[in-house]
Structure 1
């Protein structure tokens, strides 16, 4: 049977199109929904809400007649609450999402409203819903914007964000529909796993049954590269400013080398000698050397992390940039050694050190929901990934009005300088007509460089990047205004419509006559899907628009993933301005992008192979932790293994106080063992490929090392807790853990960790490092 299922799965992969969900069944219901429109329009608001209430009941999916009734009522609710009548394509999207699919709807087609009607539809069937977005701003905006619709449908709604209070947070999760960013909902889950009192949890006892993912490709694919990691204060890493200064003097190509991907850097023999001399003649490669790890992390910070690309410095702090969105990653940092190294590199105030308390991948977070659906403008490009990692199918919804945007071929230049000159000239020429321009750059540094050059040409522009992301929505809303020039990093104001003529569309017709919004990309992103997202900012709802991408032979993506293309192989020589018209060269640009997409997919695939074991172990531990938190497991443990002390304390302090003290002691030791286990698995992951070099399978070795250690966690936690029960002072205020040296973190924060282990490039880099180490030792 298993073999038959596997064969069927392979056949399905071969025969199915990437977006294979048929919506014919739901299209047939649209006329019936329209037939109900006039009758429902005659209902009062109270009668409408009452009609929706009659659909409440069992948690089964809506039957066809119920689906028709719900969509008709939902359309009327939107008309009354927002003065917006949902198009047929929006209702088609609603029905597709209620069936558990990811629907692809073009920019400007009304995904926000479709999502709200879908969430309310699930809520009507008794399912609690989390509407998951890419950032806090969109979560709050959409919850407040759609609230009148929810109220008419008789559904409660709330939102969570980074700055809301615990009371607000708990109330939002008690609502039938709760909006929140993927990181905020994930971190609330992690925080709930760290509490020592059931009353401090915010998500339970109301777990959501449905995850409705807005911008599904961004959340499920782009954000999935960054695990959500919760850290807490600990004795630990100190910043080494001297090491940063030593590394700052090293020269690339002489003292250290980097791999082609820019993911690894290592000292050359010459570099090792230079570092040893600078540190006073130490032996860098001596056994148990305290210097090698510090040098490596300082070198990583110096050589691989770039200011205004990977991070910015603001208010005397290093602030990370989420490269998937080109935005500040609020309250996030790199693991301590790297964070400290970057702070030393930039000579800014050091942050406190800590250790990882727990983590969860986006994939594991989404897997917790029994039902998942979503919406985005670009899903087909990642349909295979959505199917492989989330078991989700994509349904494509045709636009309400055909897209008439004109997408030009990529303009490829010989050098970055030639590309940038042509880019500025194109902006200057287009701006003379008054046509609005949106320039999409690859990073913060480039956005500021383009803005500076435009200023030198007496052109004013608005810059949207990680340094001023708080103004994002207002800036993007005006990007379609007459004469506007907007320069933005990736994912410009995603979720905010760019209307021709400005947010009030005052000059709509004038701008439309000029060709609509003109989108210019300064380079191709690592995925064609991200390119399409930028293009999709123009041409909403049948409006005119245009797009073009500028690229150069020196672009990092081209040199990294298509290094074989060189000027001398071109059949047609470049023009005087450096423009390359040779079709072969342009084909290499697309090839490089496809290779980049393949690399990212393989990273995701390999990462999940390893992390899913940890996720399974985490679920087991957290289930046990919940029992301790919500029952008398700890009290019975001590009553059994320390009966005399338990009886004495109960007689002296009362059963309730002793049970709570027992709970605190056992929770501390279980959490401590779990933290230690996470550290151990991280160490194993760092070295598992050394075993691969010895002809052993890394994943098997990883399991072989990690599983036995995991099995020790609960027994050891119980044993040490019993020992502590005999020694920890327990008084009227409970267990005095800190006096016994059992100190919990005094604060927590989140880490930015790019989980990129075990790819072939990393293996190659590891081999190179080991070879260099051997060479250095051989020369002594």
Structure 2
């Protein structure tokens, strides 16, 4: 079986990789079945280790035998004998591809076998999931396989403290949610002693639900904030905006991603706040406007306006008006967010769940809270941030798996230089996907969908209904209840019941209404959790999926469809679409469709279906453009962040800080040494001084960049694009950051008291935040199925 190194190298990882080669290698693995079946556990491990090379240039030298050994180990440890398709998936991920495997094909085991392959090479592996529940489940489930090969493992969760995290990160294979791992990277950027770091860098990232993590959330900034208060919106602005009239005081773009203040609207705000100009710093009274508030309200508003006019400049008040408009007219409760326990909770549109740690950029978050009459939260100071895309860039090698990789292949290639390999299902798919049923209006669409669900329900066939948002899921459930059809509802309001609802969704007669099904990590088994009625449900036709409205991405449609027809089971799907759907309004903006209506407003012409497909492709193209544009902004910030990180690492790991500060103030340095203070104490004192100012300047720089992003359209000059102007201003500001940090550190060193206990920064008023917290900024205007989430520079400044 040896000697397949040449074959392995020939496989490559290009987008056109020949899957026949993968199948050939897997078929070769079958030849070792008898040999391995008779081998002891220790012999299987030795055989697997003989297939790889470790050291500076680790590699797999005998792929067929390695796969055979891992297959044998899986059967002995977790009681599952991997299918050939799972070995093919493992093989392609060991090459460095993202593999597309259908729902129910066993991606969890495939990922664990890949981790074994990399782990045996001596590479530390992070197996990245979409949430901590799945990380813990997979670690426990696949743990025996990793134990078999002597690979230590563990899962990171929210409950773990620094010591526990430090121990887990030191192991061979670590399971963790992408946000948890990202926040650990950020927290490690606050340490002043290297020993306090919790994260050990890894060599490989294996990413589950790769398209969701690497595309849908790629540009979501993970933020570490401190307890210094930030400016809150002026109190009267929300009231003024609520009283504005569309097409008089403001207009909304056709794709409902942007709202624009008109001249009349600007005057309305100026009169309401009692200021001279919304575009300047003045606050003197102007001529009255018949629509403006009365004098007392205007006086009160003027005080609010004055308090809002901070050192950030005249653009601050205008920005507050703009975000209030966005919050009032583009963000919809139960579509983009819910209000729970007196707080605004964002909805992750790609998964249909509450995004527990997400918030919008502080101004928009506060504006939504004000809109809902809630207490406006204190935004605090951003200490550091990193996008998911930049986080994944920390790994020298990446691979992944998902059920819908092909539709994301352009993004995976453009932003990660990764290719996609499609793995055929173990059993041929029997799902029947009916052509879309298209209607003129949403009302006609919903009525037809409910009629269809009621009709299918009479047969006893289980039904999964996929909706675009919470409000829609509840409307459909209410309509079905009115027709005597009981159903389970799975959305962001009751995600705690997710596992129980999904487990029974395949039982005969069950109707489940759900928002997005991506990343739920649980298969719908025919016949219920224990599959006791499997054959009966098969006879009924299997799971029937009904989609109400297409999503903006074909991937999300396919994720919903893919819940039916698991492992060769029968199944079916049909989507109900209307010309009023968001994807049609966005992708078909400016285009006209002439078609004849049939019964109930149905449009059955072939050209209608072609038009719907066209609209979705246009919408997906817009998403790619937005991703590319936003990436340009974030890439510069990340490049600057890497420079600061390198500087920070040098200060942490050397005596650079002491050398610089002691050279600056030779007299004080000599006096401290003559007092007998140990050199390691002096080194650490200098280190803490330098890091304090470096961290403070980086935080200030991030605040400045945020300000530029909010107002770049006001500052960009005619001959330069907003992105060029952003680059010019941010580079100019960054050039002074290090010098300013060093100057302030030198001044502090000369003034601060340093004893054998170290440097007393507090006595100098140099306090670090008393508390820190983490969250994710929803910075993607199309991340919600409604498509109107704003606050992204990409949407505003394309």
Same fold (TM over 0.5): yes
Structure 1 contact 565–588 (Cα < 8 Å) conserved: no
- 2: CA distance, partners of 1:758 / 1:329: 17
Structure 1 contact 691–697 (Cα < 8 Å) conserved: no
- 1: CA distance, partners of 2:537 / 2:157: 37
Q: Does the alignment pair 1:214 with 2:248? A: no
Q: Does the alignment pair 1:193 with 2:218? A: no
Partner of 2:796: 762
Partner of 1:302: 328
How many Å apart are 1:690 and its aligned residue? 5.4
Q: Which range moves more in the overlay, 328-337 or 416-425?
A: 328-337
Count of residues in Structure 1 that have an aligned counterpart in Structure 2: 743
Structure 2 contact 438–603 (Cα < 8 Å) conserved: yes
Q: Does the alignment pair 1:460 with 2:456? A: no
1:707-748 C-alpha deviation (Å, 9 max, x unpaired): 232222222211110101122333454333233222222222
1:129-168 aligned within 5 A: 129-168=125-164
Give 1:252's match in structure 2, choosing from 232, 246, 249.
246
Structure 1 contact 156–175 (Cα < 8 Å) conserved: yes
Structure 2 contact 382–702 (Cα < 8 Å) conserved: yes
- 1: CA distance, partners of 2:394 / 2:697: 24
Partner of 1:312: 338
Task: Evaluate the alpha carbon distance shift between residue 455 and residue 649 of structure 1 in structure 2; reply closer, same or farther with a 3 A threshold.
Answer: farther
Q: Does the alignment pair 1:654 with 2:678? A: yes
Structure 2 contact 441–580 (Cα < 8 Å) conserved: yes
Partner of 2:777: 752
Q: Does the alignment pair 1:339 with 2:365? A: yes
Give 1:636's match in structure 2, choosing from 642, 659, 675.
659
1:547-588 C-alpha deviation (Å, 9 max, x unpaired): 111111111221222135556x21xx2123111112222222
Q: Does the alignment pair 1:427 with 2:453? A: yes
Partner of 2:750: 726
How many Å apart are 1:705 and its aligned residue? 2.7
Task: Evaluate the alpha carbon distance shift between residue 286 and residue 639 of structure 1 in structure 2; reply closer, same or farther with a 3 A threshold.
Answer: closer
- 2: CA distance, partners of 1:697 / 1:152: 57
Structure 2 contact 358–777 (Cα < 8 Å) conserved: yes
- 1: CA distance, partners of 2:636 / 2:366: 30
Partner of 2:354: 328
- 2: CA distance, partners of 1:52 / 1:615: 40
Q: Does the alignment pair 1:674 with 2:698? A: yes
- 1: CA distance, partners of 2:553 / 2:709: 28
- 2: CA distance, partners of 1:26 / 1:552: 43
1:323-722 aligned within 5 A: 323-492=349-518, 494-564=520-590, 566=592, 569-570=594-595, 573-650=596-673, 651=675, 653-689=677-713, 694-722=718-746
Partner of 1:778: none
1:662-714 C-alpha deviation (Å, 9 max, x unpaired): 11111011011112222233334445455765122544443333323222222
Structure 1 contact 223–324 (Cα < 8 Å) conserved: no
How many Å apart are 1:512 and its aligned residue? 0.7
- 1: CA distance, partners of 2:207 / 2:282: 48
How many Å apart are 1:438 and its aligned residue? 0.8
Partner of 2:88: 92
Q: Which range moves more in the overlay, 410-419 or 755-764?
A: 755-764
How many Å apart are 1:188 and its aligned residue? 1.2
1:48-91 C-alpha deviation (Å, 9 max, x unpaired): 33444445652445445x32222111111111122211011111
- 2: CA distance, partners of 1:292 / 1:62: 57
After superposition, the CA RMSD in angstroms is: 2.4
Any idea what SS the aligned residue of 2:351 has? Answer: coil
How many Å apart are 1:647 and its aligned residue? 2.9
- 2: CA distance, partners of 1:452 / 1:415: 19
Give 1:106's match in structure 2, choosing from 96, 102, 109.
102
- 1: CA distance, partners of 2:190 / 2:741: 16
* TM-score normalised by L of structure 2: 0.89
How many Å apart are 1:652 and its aligned residue? 5.7
Structure 1 contact 606–758 (Cα < 8 Å) conserved: no
Task: Evaluate the alpha carbon distance shift between residue 279 and residue 614 of structure 1 in structure 2; reply closer, same or farther with a 3 A threshold.
Answer: closer
- 2: CA distance, partners of 1:412 / 1:33: 49
Task: Evaluate the alpha carbon distance shift between residue 385 and residue 238 of structure 1 in structure 2; reply closer, same or farther with a 3 A threshold.
Answer: closer
How many Å apart are 1:254 and its aligned residue? 2.8
- 2: CA distance, partners of 1:426 / 1:462: 17
Partner of 1:735: 759
* TM-score normalised by L of structure 1: 0.91
How many Å apart are 1:240 and its aligned residue? 3.9
Any idea what SS the aligned residue of 2:339 has? Answer: strand
Structure 2 contact 13–95 (Cα < 8 Å) conserved: no
Q: Does the alignment pair 1:184 with 2:180? A: yes
- 2: CA distance, partners of 1:574 / 1:101: 46
How many Å apart are 1:162 and its aligned residue? 2.6
How many Å apart are 1:511 and its aligned residue? 0.7
How many Å apart are 1:239 and its aligned residue? 4.8
Q: Which range moves more in the overlay, 16-25 or 250-259?
A: 16-25
How many Å apart are 1:640 and its aligned residue? 1.1
Q: Which range moves more in the overlay, 84-93 or 230-239?
A: 230-239
- 2: CA distance, partners of 1:685 / 1:492: 31
